[in-house]
Amino acid sequence: MTSTDQGGRTDQASRTDQASRTEQGSRTGPAGRPDDRTGLLRLPVLPHPRHPLERPERTGGSAAEPVGSRLDVGPQVSVVIPTRNEARNVEPLLRRLDEALHGLSGEVIFVDDSDDGTPEVIARVRPSVRLPVRVHHRTPAQRVGGLGGAVSEGFALCAAPYAVIIDGDLQHPPETIPALLGTAVEHAADVVIGSRYVSGGSASGLAGSMRHLVSTGSNRLCRWVFPRRLRGVSDVMSGFFLVRVAVVDRAGLRPDGYKILLELLVASGRLRVREIGYAFAERHAGTSNASLTEGARFARRLFALRVPKPARFALVGASGTVPNLLGTAVLHHVGLHYLVAAIVATQIAVGWNFLGCELLVWDRETGSRLRRYPAFALINNLDLVIRLPLLAVLVGRWHLGVGISTLMSLAAAVIVRYLVVDRLVYRRRAVSERAVSPSYGRPSEDGVSGAVS
């Protein structure tokens, strides 16, 4: 006769389960030890809570099976390296990566924007390293989004569940990659940041006091702008980090410049983030790609991440009122008829608004400014159909001043434009249609939500 425990299992069933667990433990061995059969480093796999943006995982294979214990699971980690003119650095970088990832199943992906023969150097070194190495070279016309755009394209090429982003100038130590991966697995983290500002970290590789000041100041600015999303993150500006590929919403990323980590943390919803310290080294060879232009791109992107696009559009439009009013007043003062002055001043305001929208509102990847401007000017000049008759009434019949009449006509045009756009461009859809639309936060067919929380 067998007894039954509180869960309803018999002693015999309990002994069978225990024997099965013992056999499995002896077969898999302790975490962190190489597998005798594959030679790959074992890392404990903890279950990840499902993230809102996470793609459905493939089925087949035990969740408790150690990483690297199967030969058919592919690489454990994809190392994504955005490069621009790093021909002198890629060979020592590949040598160190090959040594650092010994015992791990990994791959290296270069997303290259170089004009100095970097891909040729990689092709020469590739046969002498164990790691699989791929190169995605972007032509000048394809180099959208700078370094951040290169990283985003690299995510699409990853075959591993984890991606590590590392610079190509050897300022980020490849030897830290196993620690990034181990931390992600141990703590079920979505992102593990290599930080220069936690215990074990150092920013000594920054060239000069000004670079130190810019780095620390930028970190503080980002945390001030996004106090909730970046709570507990010490190094928002780090270019050395690991991310679980399943939670990257590439459709929601609009990288512009070199600070892709900020974009990920802010635009990808709530992520489980960890940090480990690392020593930021001096550049091995070549010159830094950091510049005032990159700084301006960072400032513009920070503003875009914080302020929604409709609000940015409204701010730019409101600012266009100033050149419109001033232009009308000055031109009328020098003798132009007030209607002619309004037409000319509108062209000045249209140019002002176009530049503002180019800089602050819309991405500029499609076409050229010369092709975009005519369509922009045509749409904005439609206001004159409303404004000119209204101006004629306000000034000619009601005898109001040109300045106040111009302001009133601008306000009326804004109201009419809003009503037209609201009814025709952004008209409400039926409830049944919204219920299945990815843009309202439901997953699309590939499991990626179209909404950003």
Give 252-266 pLDDT, tens digit per residue: 677 665 678 988 888
pLDDT band at 385 (very low <50, low <70, confident <90, very high): confident
With both helix axes pointing from N to C terminus, report the angle between 383-391 and 402-424 in degrees, rounded to the nearest 10: 150
pLDDT digits (tens, 9 = 90+) for 265-304: 887 778 899 999 999 887 756 555 555 666 677 777 788 7
Sheet holding 133-137, edge to edge: 133-137, 106-112, 77-83, 162-165, 241-244, 191-195, 273-277
Mean pLDDT of 414-421: 64
Domain boundaries, the chain: 77-306, 309-424
d(CA 380, CA 367): 19
H or E element in which residue 273 lies: strand 273-277
Give the three-state DSSP class for 34: strand
pTM of the model: 0.62
Arithmetic mean of pLDDT over the chain:
75
Q: Which region among 20-24, 267-271, 295-299, 419-423 has the lowest average model confidence (pLDDT)?
A: 20-24
State the CATH architecture for 77-306: Alpha-Beta Complex (3.90)
